[in-house]
Amino acid sequence: MKTRFESFAGLSVAIITPFKNGQVDYKTLQDQVEFQIAAGTTAVVPVGTTGESPTLSFDEHERVLRAVVEAAKGKIKVMAGSGANSTQEALHLTQFTQKVGADAALVVAPYYNKPTQEGLFQHYKLLAQSVDIPICIYNIPGRCARNIEPETIIRLAQFPNIGMVKEATGSMDQTSSIIANTNLTVLSGDDSLTLPLLALGARGIVSVVGNIIPKDMIALCNAFENGNIEKAQEWHYKTYSLCRDMLALSTNPIPIKAAMKMLGRDTGELRLPLTTLSETEEQKLQKTLQNYGLLS
């Protein structure tokens, strides 16, 4: 079944924002994009949750996005985080996303203020009518304290550029309802649920573990796409162990940044209120990476 924005099918990676001595490390940021280009990733997703967007200033947010678009150079798509719990802030960021040349905007549900379903509809409607680029609705009630109900997403599908949903509710019923009633391109928002959602009709994943194992996540998606279910299951169970043992250690992006530090690809530096793993947690993570074959 063809969906609205098939060009975003496959692996998108929610990339980190690297810091060095408290400042954004733009060289390392662009190296992360090059790493994903070399892996064959469909899209990079900067300035999202994994990119610590809540602690970036507006200026940093815009500079990070410019740097990523520059590094992408048309070789990889850019779907930029542009959500906020203020509709006017989300509008500013989404319009900037279009202006700077990103391919799509990832717009998380407004958080903390818990809008009604009508409020959510009006929020996304305004954004959709203000830009031309594709918008991906990011539904993650665990962080936002409000679920965007399937009925609301189905209503929003009337706007042509609301074309994707990053589905992180963990509900198979919700995903099924969206896919059964729209042609929206659904992307898994949970690494460990990639295969189950693909089986329902999702078209890919916005991944955290893709920061370190993009080729494996691509292999999982490709195996399913090619009808090799047994191979897709093998990749699911291999990557599942990493997702379970790494991402369960602490709040995202704490574990993935720690893993990238161990692999020599980041400083592991975070901005408060996020803090680093404890010594015991680091030991567990090191063993997890060794078991996966990423560390000797």
User: Which residue type occupies 76?
Assistant: I
Closest CA to 185 of 195, 197, 173, 193: 197
What span, in angstroms and rounded, lies between the C-alpha atoms of 187 and 137?
Answer: 10
Q: Is 274's pLDDT higher than 80?
A: yes
Give the number of other Cβ atoms within 10 Å of residue 73's Cβ.
Answer: 10
Question: Domain 6-228 has what CATH class?
Answer: alpha beta
Question: Which residues sit opposite 28 in a β-bridge?
Answer: none
Residue 1 pLDDT: 72
Residue 292 catalytic? Answer: no
Give the number of other Cβ atoms within 10 Å of residue 11's Cβ.
Answer: 27
How does pLDDT run across 47-83, given as a tens digit for each residue? Answer: 999 999 999 999 999 999 999 999 999 999 999 999 9
What span, in angstroms and rounded, lies between the C-alpha atoms of 16 and 164?
Answer: 22
Residue 13 pLDDT: 98
Closest CA to 39 of 256, 225, 212: 212
Residue 165 pLDDT: 98
Instruction: Report the first-to-last Cα separation within the chain, whole angstroms.
Output: 42
DSSP-based helix, strand, coil % in the chain, nearest 5: 50, 15, 35
What span, in angstroms and rounded, lies between the C-alpha atoms of 223 and 160?
Answer: 30
Q: Is 260's pLDDT higher than 90?
A: yes
Q: How many residues does the chain have?
A: 296
Options 138, 215, 238, 292, the catalytic residue: 138
Evaluate the CA torsion angle 235, 237, 242, 246 in order and state its sign.
positive
How does pLDDT run across 192-228, given as a tens digit for each residue? Answer: 999 999 999 999 999 999 999 999 999 999 999 999 9
Instruction: Using only the alpha carbons of the chain, give its radius of gyration.
Output: 18
Can you tell me which residue has the tokens 């009633």? Answer: 181
Give the number of other Cβ atoms within 10 Å of residue 237's Cβ.
Answer: 10
Determine the Cα angle at 58 with ends 56 and 63, to 5°. 85
Question: What are the tokens at 261?
Answer: 């530090």
| Percent of the chain whose predicted confidence (pLDDT) is above 70 | 100
Which pLDDT band, with edges at 50, 70 and 90, does 237 fall under?
very high
Residue 166 catalytic? Answer: yes
| Burial degree of 82 (CB within 10 A; 0-12, 13-18, 19+) | buried
Question: What are the tokens at 118?
Answer: 């009508």
Average pLDDT of span 83-111: 97
Q: Is 117's pLDDT higher than 80?
A: yes
Evaluate the CA torsion angle 143, 133, 192, 117 in order and state its sign.
positive
pTM above 0.95, yes or no: yes
Average pLDDT of span 131-152: 97
Residue 81 pLDDT: 98
Residue 72 pLDDT: 97
Options 26, 77, 124, 166, the catalytic residue: 166
How does pLDDT run across 154-204, given as a tens digit for each residue? Answer: 999 999 999 999 999 999 999 999 999 999 999 999 999 999 999 999 999
Contact call for residues 41 and 76 (beta carbons, < 8 A): yes
Question: Which residues sit opposite 292 in a β-bridge?
Answer: none
Q: What is the mean pLDDT of the chain?
A: 97
Residue 93 pLDDT: 97
User: Which residue type occupies 296?
Assistant: S
Instruction: Name the residue ranges covered by the structural domains of the chain.
Output: 6-228
What span, in angstroms and rounded, lies between the C-alpha atoms of 169 and 139?
Answer: 7
| Percent of the chain whose predicted confidence (pLDDT) is above 90 | 99
Q: Is 151's pLDDT higher than 90?
A: yes
| Burial degree of 261 (CB within 10 A; 0-12, 13-18, 19+) | middle
Residue 251 pLDDT: 96
